[in-house]
């Protein structure tokens, strides 16, 4: 298939490109590089053995250039990763998040339908479940109250897409709700490259192990969990990438909107992650117990069985691969892509 990949220079997008090429798809990446660099695409080209990944530096809010892109190219489907994703930042800059994530996606959807391209895979998040009342979380669990504007953009966009698919039966949309993506491609050439101080656990652990940061702050050890620290469903980014290729097949057979959790179905606590990282990689990760982080839930993990039964997809890599590949990437690229 010919696939438009928005946000393809970013963390999940770049890893998905590798799997798309492996499966024989053609891609064109659009990205405004607000949180990424061309270097990730050069690395993808190296991994898959091509000269370069076709790329246009376009902001998805730029209707004119997006329109031009669709005039010049035929796309069978779009995988839509582009968006802002920092939870804390979204609280202090809500307008920017609604403008970029919602405004950008509305423009993209409009240009897509104008050109008759009505197949879409959208990067959603487990954050849309809010404080879920069931564990593990199934897709039938209703969307809940989000604790931040970033979460609301995902929740609202899911609603927009459901309504559009109801009104126009030609749309085929897959909403993928990611749990906690971690890890990197096994080559160590591409990985997660957060700006400044990482918000998420795995990049923070990696930077502590490297000595860039003194210690990990563990946000609370008084939750009702195995050791009091928060439990999450970490999923290797290459498994997540493979989930997109599997979802492309579903676009051919399913009508309307389909929702799938992409997780492993297994939760690990913060301290279990630290321990796994230390043991697998033979490094120390000093930590200090701190207070709870506002907005955090105690436990969150998926029931991924729907993706297994309908997409034939399941996560293959375990915790050891996740921590090993994160560490390899961090060691080989102490300053990320140096963007
Ligand atoms: P990322 O920041 O690495 O990648 C997003 C990419 O989109 C970046 O390359 C950025 O430059 C680009 N972008 C942002 N706004 C744009 C715009 N207006 N026009 C064009 N390009 C734009 O993030 P990621 O971790 O790869 O996440 C990809 C998607 O998955 C996002 O939509 C994110 O919200 C979602 N998601 C991520 C996680 C996670 O933990 N990483 C979890 C759940 C959902
Ligand atoms: C966060 C976002 C969520 C987003 C997800 C993936 C919040 C409230 N939620 O989820 O919307 O979809 O990232 O990008 O930010 N932890 C520490 N110390 C740290 C960092 C994290 O103890 O320095 C703990 C957290 O309290 C949590 C676990 O590690 O228990 C995972 O945290 P994180 O990686 O930030 O992911 P989530 O909070 O699950």
* pLDDT tens per residue across span 186-216: 999 999 999 889 999 999 999 999 999 999 9
* pLDDT on residue 235: 98
CA of 65 to the centre of ligand 1 (A): 20
- b/e sequence 301-334, b meaning 16+ C-beta within 10 Å: bbbbebbeebbebbbebebebbbbbbbbbbeebe
Q: Exactly one of 11, 150, 204, 223 is catalytic; name it.
A: 150
CA of 283 to the centre of ligand 1 (A): 30
> What pTM was estimated for this model as a whole?
0.98
* pLDDT on residue 104: 98
- The pLDDT of 270-277, averaged and rounded, is 98
CA-14 nearest atom, ligand 1: 26
> Which secondary structure element, helix H or strand E, spans residue 3, and what is its range?
strand 2-6
Place of tokens 């676009």: 251
- The pLDDT of 105-127, averaged and rounded, is 98
pLDDT band, residue 253 (cuts 50/70/90): confident
How is residue 190 written in tokens? 């591409």
* pLDDT on residue 133: 86
Q: Is 21 a catalytic residue?
A: no
* pLDDT on residue 339: 56
* pLDDT on residue 295: 87
Tell me: the pLDDT tens digits for 19-52? 999 999 999 999 999 999 999 999 999 999 999 9
Task: Output the residue whose Cα is nearest ligand 2's atom 9.
Answer: 87
Q: What is the spatial distance between Cα 99 and Cα 94, in angstroms, rounded to a whole number?
A: 8
pLDDT at 59 exceeding the cut of 60: yes
pLDDT band, residue 279 (cuts 50/70/90): very high
Alpha carbon separation from 108 to 73, 307, 317 (Å, rounded): 15, 26, 33
- The pLDDT of 109-133, averaged and rounded, is 96
How is residue 146 written in tokens? 């989000």
Residues touching ligand 2 (Cβ under 6 Å) are 87, 125, 127, 151, 180, 199-201, 204, 216-219, 230, 232, 270, 293, 295-296
Q: Tell me the ligand closest to 299's alpha carbon.
A: 2
């Amino acid at each position: 298939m010919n696939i438009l990949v928005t946000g393809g220079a970013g963390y999940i997008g770049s890893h998905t490109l590798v799997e798309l090429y492996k499966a024989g798809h053609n891609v064109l990446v659009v990205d405004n590089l607000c949180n990424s660099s061309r270097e990730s695409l050069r690395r993808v080209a190296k991994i898959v053995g091509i000269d370069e990944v076709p790329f246009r530096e376009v902001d998805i809010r730029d209707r004119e250039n997006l329109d031009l892109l669709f005039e010049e190219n035929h796309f069978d489907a779009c995988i839509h990763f582009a968006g802002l994703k920092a939870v804390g930042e979204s609280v202090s800059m809500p307008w920017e998040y609604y403008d970029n994530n919602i405004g950008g996606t509305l423009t993209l959807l409009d240009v897509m339908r104008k050109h008759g391209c009505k197949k879409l895979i959208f990067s959603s998040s487990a954050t849309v479940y809010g404080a879920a009342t069931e564990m593990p979380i199934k897709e039938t669990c209703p969307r809940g109250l989000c604790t931040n504007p970033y979460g609301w953009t995902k929740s609202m966009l899911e609603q927009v897409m459901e309504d559009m698919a109801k009104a126009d039966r030609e749309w085929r949309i897959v909403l993928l709700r990611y749990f906690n993506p971690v890890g990197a491609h096994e080559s160590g050439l591409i990985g997660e490259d957060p700006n400044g101080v990482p918000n998420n656990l795995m990049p923070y652990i990696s930077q502590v192990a490297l000595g860039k940061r003194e210690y990990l702050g563990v946000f609370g050890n008084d939750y009702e969990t195995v050791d009091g620290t928060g439990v999450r469903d970490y999923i290797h980014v290459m498994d997540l990438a493979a989930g997109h290729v599997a979802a492309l097949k579903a676009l051919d057979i399913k009508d309307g909107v389909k929702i799938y959790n992409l997780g492993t179905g297994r939760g690990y606590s913060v301290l279990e992650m630290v321990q796994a990282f230390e043991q697998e990689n033979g490094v120390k990760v000093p930590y200090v117990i701190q207070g709870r982080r506002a907005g955090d839930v105690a436990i969150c993990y998926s029931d991924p069985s729907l993706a297994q039964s309908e997409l034939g997809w399941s996560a293959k890599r375990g915790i050891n691969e996740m921590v090993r590949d994160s560490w390899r990437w961090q060691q080989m690229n102490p300053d990320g892509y140096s963007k």
